[in-house]
A and B are shown apart, each in its own frame.
Chain A
Amino acid sequence: MQKEKIIDVKNLGASFDGTVVLSDVSFSVYQGEVTVILGSSGCGKSTVLRHILSLYPLLQGDITILGKQLGNLTEDQQLDLYLQMGVFYQNGALLNSMTVEENVALPLKQHTKLPDHLIHDIVRMKLGLVNLEHAIDQFPSELSGGMLKRAALARAIVMDPPIMFLDEPGAGLDPISLEALDKLIINLKEQLGMTIVLVTHEVSSILRIADRIVYLEKGRVLFEGTLRDALKSGIESVSNFFSVINDADKIKS
């Protein structure tokens, strides 16, 4: 059965100061799947993500999210779309002037009519999901790198958005925390039916969670398909990317 397309990117192109960063990028993200955008550094992964999030103006190509075409949305439509997305930024992007609780509660306070005591409970529950309920009164500057990421993740899921975008969530995490994070992502996908778009380099993480892979190289899509197909594709760059894990297996055996 063909799953519903949630995000459809067609012929996306971008250039900065005359340098072409993306050209003719097309791929789709399907309902309830984890789609991983990967590729070596500087291949345009984050640029693609920023276009999908409407942080860069769409100059070439089309992007459709939940049936809405970006580029000609009114302010209200764009807001509506944002409310259905949870976004996790690489460095956490928590507001430094607020405590962890205030940071996580911010979307609920601004966009819903929930009473304060329920907001407090929801925040505690979401922080519990990422094992951070003990840091509820701390400020971002008092948290370690891993804790900061978990707090940012709690903020991204606080509204239970149907779509989640994660920009390198695993960078700088130890393997055990990374595995816990992957488990949480799988739970979000399986139990809440979230559609997840992930930009990452962590091969171990990709093997654990990815359903579909979009491999970018020099601003173009080199491969798009399931993880299984990617491993069998025979495309040199893609095989090299995953060969690290094979090497590790060899050392182990």
Chain B
Amino acid sequence: MLKRLLKYRKRKSENSIYRIENDTLFLSKGLTLDTVPKFSAGILNDLKSIKSQNLIINLQDLKDIDGAGVTALFWLKTMLREKGVSVRIENADIHINKKIDLFKPEIIDIRDKKKEAGFFESIGDNLYQFVSSYLYEFMVLAANVFYFSATDIFKKRKRRKGEFTNQAVLIGVNATLIIVIMSFVIGLVLALQSAQQLRDFGANIYIVDLTVIAMMSQMGPLITAILVAGRSGSAIAAEIATMKVTSELDALQTMGLNPIRFVVVPKLYASLVTMPFLILLSSVAGIVGGAVAAYVYLGITPEVFVNRMVDSVSNKQLITSFVKSQVYASLIVLTGSFYGFRVLRGAEGVGKATTAAVVVAISLVIIADSVLGLMFF
């Protein structure tokens, strides 16, 4: 057993690139990328046996050293110095010395120790960042956008020519088909799900009130806003982010064109104008879906449906959906442009900005929906 142990220790020392004798650490073979991991893992432990306050590192037998080796050597020196041991490197070959000189290892001596923030500190820091950076910048952007969009109504020359129509088509017209289809399906399913319960109570005719009120003041605006946020919110963020990354916004600025006025304001106009129509279309499609379900499942004819509908629609619902359309349109355009302007770091940043814009826009729309829902209750 003892023999095997001795043999093992001998083999270990043969493989090792260092040996310790008295107060001297002898390095041999090569201190390179291949040997450094093992060296750095074991050396501090092995040096514990040394009692003296002075250590000599003898490089006489060292044949090769590279960047990793130089780093390890000076890491060791620094660690020992912190323990009060002074280290001297001697007998290095001229080639080894040249390499050590090239890598200027003294840079490593200035250690940068980052202080980790505590739990409450990081919460406070995040909150401060949120208020001072996100909220503040969002408010500034919103103020700018609303200011310019209000003043530019009267300054025709300041407006970007033809851009309103262009954006109205992109944000509004191109979204009609998907909004109509989705709203029809949701209206149909909504009526279908409720029909069962209403029939049990013999309150078949109330399917009309249910569908109309739900679609006009709640589902129509919400579906439209979510779809527009997904389609146009992301497009706005991506467009502005790309413009920022490729310095187009800087170019606009130096041409004397305010980027907010030139890029954001036409989008806000377009969405403020098209959004009420989209919501109206969505509500109508949803009601048609509801009417189909009412006819098929409860036998309510379209004639009866329309008659009852006229009674249940009130101005309040129309006003509700109009107010919602304006709020949602502003939120979507502002969020999209906010994340677009905030973009950092090239192409990858554009992707992140787009994702964030969609997620935040939809969240804000839902929050606004609940607030407005309570207001118009």
Does B bind A?
Answer: yes
> A residues within 8 Å of B by Cβ?
96-97, 108, 112-115, 117-118, 121-122, 124-126, 128-129, 133, 139-142, 157-160, 187, 191-192
Count how many chain B residues have C-beta atoms less than 8 Å from C-beta atoms of the other chain.
29
Contact segment of B221-229, B298-306, B341-349: B341-349
Contact segment of B36-44, B189-197, B211-219, B233-241: B36-44
Residues of A within 8 A of B103 (CB): 125, 128-129
B107 at the interface (CB under 8 A from A): yes
B41 with A139: CB separation less than 8 A? no
| CA distance in complex: A97, B102 (Å) | 30
**Can you name 17 A-B pairs with beta carbons within 8 Å?**
A97-B345, A108-B68, A114-B68, A115-B41, A117-B75, A125-B70, A125-B71, A125-B104, A126-B67, A128-B107, A133-B107, A139-B344, A139-B345, A158-B67, A160-B66, A187-B102, A191-B98
A122 with B41: CB separation less than 8 A? no
Chain A, Cβ-Cβ closest to B99: A191
| CA distance in complex: A97, B346 (Å) | 9
Most buried by A among B33, B37, B40, B72: B33
Residues of B within 8 A of A160 (CB): 32-33, 66-68
B105 at the interface (CB under 8 A from A): yes
| CA distance in complex: A244, B72 (Å) | 47
Residues of A within 8 A of B153 (CB): none
Residues of B within 8 A of A124 (CB): 107-108
**If the complex has contacts A115-B41, A125-B104, are A159 and B33 also in contact, measured as CB distance less than 8 A?**
yes
Chain A, Cβ-Cβ closest to B347: A96
Residues of A within 8 A of B67 (CB): 122, 125-126, 157-158, 160
| CA distance in complex: A113, B33 (Å) | 9
| CA distance in complex: A122, B68 (Å) | 6
| CA distance in complex: A126, B346 (Å) | 25
Residues of B within 8 A of A113 (CB): 37
| CA distance in complex: A157, B68 (Å) | 11
Residues of A within 8 A of B108 (CB): 121, 124-125
Judged by DSSP, the binding face of A is helix
A121 with B66: CB separation less than 8 A? no
A118 with B345: CB separation less than 8 A? no
A192 with B344: CB separation less than 8 A? no
A141 with B98: CB separation less than 8 A? no
B40 with A97: CB separation less than 8 A? no
Q: How many residue pairs bridge A and B at CB < 8 Å? A: 78
Chain A, Cβ-Cβ closest to B68: A122
B344 with A112: CB separation less than 8 A? no
What is the CB-to-nearest-CB distance from A121 to chain B, in angstroms, rounded to a whole number?
5
A192 with B36: CB separation less than 8 A? no
| CA distance in complex: A125, B104 (Å) | 7
B104 with A129: CB separation less than 8 A? yes
Given A122-B71, A159-B33, 14 new contacts (CB under 8 A): A96-B345, A96-B346, A124-B107, A125-B70, A128-B103, A128-B104, A139-B345, A158-B67, A160-B33, A160-B66, A160-B67, A191-B98, A191-B99, A191-B102
| CA distance in complex: A112, B105 (Å) | 20
Residues of B within 8 A of A128 (CB): 103-104, 107
A114 with B36: CB separation less than 8 A? yes
Residues of B within 8 A of A122 (CB): 67-68, 71
Residues of A within 8 A of B348 (CB): 96-97
B33 with A115: CB separation less than 8 A? no
Looking at the complex, which one of B36, B105, B107, B344 makes contact with A118 (CB distance below 8 Å)?
B36
What is the CB-to-nearest-CB distance from A124 to chain B, in angstroms, rounded to a whole number?
6
A118 with B33: CB separation less than 8 A? no
Residues of A within 8 A of B37 (CB): 112-115
Q: Which 9 A-B pairs have the closest CB atoms?
A: A160-B66, A128-B107, A113-B37, A141-B345, A122-B71, A121-B71, A191-B102, A191-B98, A121-B108
What is the CB-to-nearest-CB distance from B209 to chain A, in angstroms, rounded to a whole number?
53
Looking at the complex, which one of A139, A140, A141, A192 makes contact with B102 (CB distance below 8 Å)?
A192
Residues of A within 8 A of B40 (CB): 114-115, 118
What is the CB-to-nearest-CB distance from A144 to chain B, in angstroms, rounded to a whole number?
14
Looking at the complex, which one of B68, B99, B347 makes contact with A192 (CB distance below 8 Å)?
B99
Chain A, Cβ-Cβ closest to B38: A113
| CA distance in complex: A114, B34 (Å) | 9
| CA distance in complex: A2, B108 (Å) | 40
Beta-carbon contacts of B45-84 to A below 8 Å, as 1s and 0s?
Answer: 0000000000000000000001110111011000000000
Residues of A within 8 A of B99 (CB): 191-192
Residues of A within 8 A of B107 (CB): 124-125, 128, 133
B98 with A112: CB separation less than 8 A? no
| CA distance in complex: A235, B348 (Å) | 48
Most buried by B among A96, A122, A124, A142: A122
What is the CB-to-nearest-CB distance from B109 to chain A, in angstroms, rounded to a whole number?
10
